[in-house]
Amino acid sequence: MARKRIAILISGRGSNMAALIDAASEHSYPADIALVLSNVADAGGLSVAQSKKIKTEVIDHKCFGKDRDGFEREIQKILDANRIDYVCLAGFMRLLTPSFVSHWHGRLLNIHPALLPSFKGLDTHERAIAEGVKIHGATVHFVVPEVDSGPIIVQAAVPVLTGDTPQSLSARVIQAEHRIYPLALRWLCEGKLKIVDGRCVIDGASDIDGVLISPTNLRLS
């Protein structure tokens, strides 16, 4: 089976981008990271990708003012030119239009630092601590027009410890993110994911395969 061509969209340091690049360096992984695209010219992740000999592009959203469609048309041109099969958002800090999202339906992934549907949006770690939850985590999901609302592919649970700060909690959640994003992309490229009645079904897997427990690094299967 031919390896799928992946584009990763970033706005910052790209730690999840780096995790995907590392996973794709394995011969058995079913994807190649063909492109890293940023809307920020000095995003730290660009130099990381370049050091791995991965093609990078920059499209500065500020050049388009309020013309979101124009910005996304330029993104789409580059994705088409690079024959991209799937797109992964990794800290891409721009809201995508329903038109763009619909065009990539079932082919566009995002990772969110919370156990969706809880704590959609920003400042998830601060909010989790403020609410007193005992379990926090991360979610990989398909992107739909409504923010942080697409079908959930895989989640990782991370305990909230006594005395946690947003920074200490974030550090553990990021470790979980780096485990589940490559897994979700693998499943997608292997054709194991289906969206049925608005929910993601993993072919050939038990229900518990969509849940990872962190930070013990114990996978339930």
Q: Please, are residues 141 and 109 in contact by the beta-carbon 8 Å criterion?
A: yes
pLDDT digits (tens, 9 = 90+) for 34-72: 999 999 999 999 999 999 999 999 999 999 999 999 999
Q: Which residues are catalytic?
A: 112
Give the distance, in angstroms, between the CA of residue 217 and the centroid of all CA atoms in the same chain.
20
Q: Are 43 and 70 in contact (CB under 8 A)?
A: no
Tens digits of residue pLDDT in 152-193: 999 999 999 999 999 999 999 999 999 999 999 999 999 999
Domain architecture of the chain: domains with CATH: 1-104 (3.40.50.170), 111-221 (3.40.50.170)
- Is this model's pTM higher than 0.95 or not? no
Residue 24 has pLDDT above 90, yes or no: yes
- In angstroms, the CA 181 to CA 52 distance is 19
End-to-end CA distance of the chain: 26
